[in-house]
Structure formats: C-alpha cells, structure tokens
Structure 1
Amino acid sequence: MSAYRTVVVGTDGSDSSLRAVARAGALAGACGAALVVACAYLPTEEDERELARARDVLRDEAYQVVGSHPAEDTVRRAGEAALAAGAGEVRTVAVVGSPVEALLDVVRREGADLLVVGNRGLAGIRGRLLGSVPADATRRSACDVLVVHTTG
C-alpha cells in the first residue's frame, strides 16, 4: 500500500476541528502528501431559509460557517496551523454548501485519497437538524476516512 498523495481535511474554525487539521497536517507531512484544508459555508445572499436555520441552531457559532469572508479567514488560519504541524504543501478552499456535501465535492475535485474529519458530532437537536459530519462523511466517502479523536 502506498502513502497518501492528497489529503483533505474539513474545519469550521472550532478548537476541535483545528485538532483534526493539526493531525492531518502531521500525517500529510509524514507522507509527503498535499493537504487541502476546506471549510463549508452558506451564502448569505442565496439560501435565506438555510441561513436562518443555521443561525437558529448554531446561534453565536453561526459566524464560523455563514458567509465566504469568515470561511476564508477560517481556512487561512487552519492552513497556518497545518503548516506548523508539519504539512509541506497546503492549499485552502472555502466551498458553498453543507459541510458533508462540500467536503465530498473537494475530495472528488482534488482526487484525494484520504479525508480527515474530527469526531465531534453535533449532539441533541443540533445533530438531528444538521446531521453528523463525521458519520455522514464516513458513510458516503469514496476514499479512506480518518476520524480524529478531537474531544475530551
């Protein structure tokens, strides 16, 4: 089995997701793989119903995933963290859409052979409304998925 060539990691800017970014950065560096750091966001001018739902569910945390400017800041900071963790080549991308759809789209476009996500799912009502990114990504991904233990 050969080493991974392209690794995609998702982030929403949370401390938990940045632990997954650091692990992906270290792994990509060790494998000599390119690392693509991705953040999904909802466009503020397009789907107002989804935007309202995200704000209702996420409340103060909605800024992390709503609108392209915060998403671009999030991937920039995460890219810096990945480099500090040992990644050699890092690209960042902010993608319109739900987290799982956006990650799977980036995996396809980049021809990635590994997707890295944190294990922090959304519990309770948040999880029922928005779904669990780690569970959905693992179930639907066409490439290997590494679920990093990022919580307590």
Structure 2
Amino acid sequence: MSAYRTVVVGTDGSDSSLRAVRRAGALAGACAARLVIVCAYQPPRADDREVRRAQEVLGDDAYQVIGSGPAEETLRTAADKAREAGATEVYPFAVVGEPVDALLDVVAREQADLLVVGNRGLNSIKGRLLGSVPSDIARRSSVDVLVVHTTG
C-alpha cells in the first residue's frame, strides 16, 4: 500500500472542523501529500430568513457558511492550522454548494485518495434524523474516508 498523495479536508471554521484540518495537515505532512482544504458556502441572498432559521434550529450542526468573504477567512485560518500541523503543500478552495457535494466534487477533480472529515453531527439526534456530513460522506465517497473524533 502506498502513502496518500492528495488529501482533501472540509472545514466550516468551527473548532470541530479545525481539529479535522489539523489531523489532515499532520497526515499530509507525514505522507508528503498535497492537502486540499475545502470550505463550502452559500452566496448571500437578499432574503436569507430560511438559512438563518435553519442555523437557529440546528446551531453548530448547521454546517453553513454564507458568503465568499467568510469562506476565504475560514480557509486562511484552516491553512495556517494545517501548516502548523506539518502540511507543506496546501491548496485552499472556497466552493459554492452544499458541503457533501462540494467535498465529493473536489475529491474527483483533484483525484484525491483520502477524504478527512470530523465526526460532528454523527452521533447527535439531529444528525440521525436529518443526516450528517460525515455519514453522508462515508456512504457516498469513492475514496478512503478518515472520520476524525473532533467532538467531546
């Protein structure tokens, strides 16, 4: 088995997702792999009441970044954390779309061989009822998935 060549990790800027970024950065550094950090976001709309309502109901499980500015800031922070953890070749991507679809699209486009996600939402009631990013990723990914224990 060869080492991973391209690792993709998703972040929404939460502490949980940044723990996954640090783990992916350490792994990419150890494997001398490229690290692609993805932040999926939705463009701001004149009427974002539906998104705000979902964020109020779901809280930390909302997985939603609104606007390219916040996405870019999230990526700058994540890239710094990944480099601190050992990654040397870091490529940040802000992508319009839902997190699962955005991550899987980047995995395919970059020909990644590992996708790293945190476990936030995996064991929550909301995650079980509504689905979660880690469970959807694990079910749909065509490459290896590392689910990092990032929640208390």
TM-score (structure 2 length as normaliser): 0.89
Conservation of the 8 A alpha-carbon contact between 2:36 and 2:90: yes
Please show how residues 130-145 of structure 1 align to structure 2 within 5 Å: 131-145=131-145
Q: Does 1:54 align with 2:20?
A: no
Q: Letter of the 2:39 partner, please give it.
A: C
Conservation of the 8 A alpha-carbon contact between 2:42 and 2:64: no
Q: Letter of the 1:55 partner, please give it.
A: R
What SS does the aligned partner of 1:37 have?
strand
Measured against aligned partners, the alpha-carbon deviations of 1:51-95 in whole angstroms (never above 9, x if no partner) come to 543321213767961111101110111011000000010000010
CA shift, 1:124, in A, is 3.8
CA RMSD for the aligned pairs? 2.1
User: Any stretches of 5+ residues in structure 1 without a counterpart?
Assistant: none
What SS does the aligned partner of 1:112 have?
coil
Q: Letter of the 2:27 partner, please give it.
A: L
CA shift, 1:135, in A, is 0.1
User: Any stretches of 5+ residues in structure 2 without a counterpart?
Assistant: none
Measured against aligned partners, the alpha-carbon deviations of 1:7-43 in whole angstroms (never above 9, x if no partner) come to 0000000000000000000000000000000010011
Please show how residues 71-90 of structure 1 align to structure 2 within 5 Å: 71-90=71-90
Q: d(CA) in 2 for partners of 1:5 and 1:108?
A: 14
CA gap of 1:63–1:52, structure 2 versus 1, over 3 A, is farther
Conservation of the 8 A alpha-carbon contact between 2:63 and 2:99: no
Q: d(CA) in 2 for partners of 1:132 and 1:91?
A: 25
